[in-house]
Amino acid sequence: MSRAASLLGAGLLGLAAWQALVTLGDLPRFILPGPGLVLSTLWSSRALIAEHALVTIVEVLLGLGLGAACGFASAILLAASPLARALLRPMLVFSQAVPVFALAPILTLWLGYGLGSKVAMALLIIYFPVTSAFFDALMRTPPGWLELARVMNATPARTLWRIRVPAALPGFASGLRLAAVYAPIGAIIGEWVGASRGLGYLMLLANGRAKIDLMFAALIVLAVLALCLHAAIDAACRRLLGA
């Protein structure tokens, strides 16, 4: 069975289970609207949802790009410098002891209700997974390759960029795949804390006005966007690695 057919089958099964839960549980639409009502709202409100989805997409892509770049650079620095490992690694570990979600109000206070705070939130939530995955891969370079580089009198910089980095690219790709899942979470959390646009803001607005069908429609669009982003990142990584 192809991947597309598998996804389609899983989606239809999920819709059937959703409808069965609504029907058998006799749930009111303000608690859990049926899939038919949600899809109808999704179509009738498509312009509104698309307007807010575009904002969220920009936030996610900017956060993903900046987070991946910062994670790549940080992992290189940590792998190349024992001093950086001694000073920065404890700080990175400590930063993860603070719940990232708790920083959202602070970022909103510092950066405002616009794009900046949402991008920063997405960046923070994916920075550590990318850095950690890539750094671990850099430190696991096959010893035989490093010994060959020493025999050939390669400089540390040349060894890093010609041997260690190419060997660690699968680890970086794994970090990017995780980042593709986490980045939308960061943007939505930022929108929930304070925003005037975006799918997270639309979900809060719909919930406050008891338009639960619109809230679910925005949630479905967000889930589809996250799946598409993950699929795109996965395809790009496979192409990069020739897998």
| CATH number where 79 lies | 1.10.3720.10
Query: Quick check: is 32 in a domain?
Result: no
Query: Quick check: is 44 in a domain?
Result: no
Number of domains in the chain: 1
Q: What is the pLDDT of residue 177?
A: 94
Query: Quick check: is 204 in a domain?
Result: yes
């312009």: which residue's tokens? 47
CB-CB contact of 176 with 126 (8 Å): no
Query: Quick check: is 95 in a domain?
Result: yes
Digit-by-digit pLDDT tens for the chain (243 residues) are 566 677 778 888 888 888 888 888 888 888 889 999 999 999 999 999 999 999 999 999 999 999 999 999 999 999 999 998 888 888 887 777 778 788 888 888 899 888 999 999 999 999 999 999 999 999 999 989 889 888 888 888 999 999 999 999 999 999 999 999 999 999 999 999 888 899 999 999 999 899 999 999 999 999 999 999 999 999 999 998 875
CB-CB contact of 26 with 20 (8 Å): no
Cα angle, residue 157 at apex, residues 152 and 160 outer, rounded to 5°: 85
Q: What is the pLDDT of residue 6?
A: 77
Enter the tokens of residue 209. Answer: 């006005």
CB-CB contact of 211 with 40 (8 Å): no
Q: Which pTM was predicted?
A: 0.91
What are 42-78's pLDDT values in tens digits? 999 999 999 999 999 999 999 999 999 999 999 999 9
Query: Quick check: is 19 in a domain?
Result: no
Residue 159 is part of which domain span? 51-241
Q: What is the pLDDT of residue 2?
A: 66
Residue 112, classed as helix, strand or coil, is: coil
Query: Quick check: is 180 in a domain?
Result: yes
Query: Quick check: is 67 in a domain?
Result: yes
CA distance 90 to 28: 51
Torsion of CA 18, 178, 70, 95, to 10 degrees: 80
Longest dimension (CA), the chain: 75
Q: What is the pLDDT of residue 220?
A: 94
Query: Quick check: is 179 in a domain?
Result: yes
CB neighbour class for 58 (10 Å; exposed up to 12, middle 13-18, buried from 19):
middle
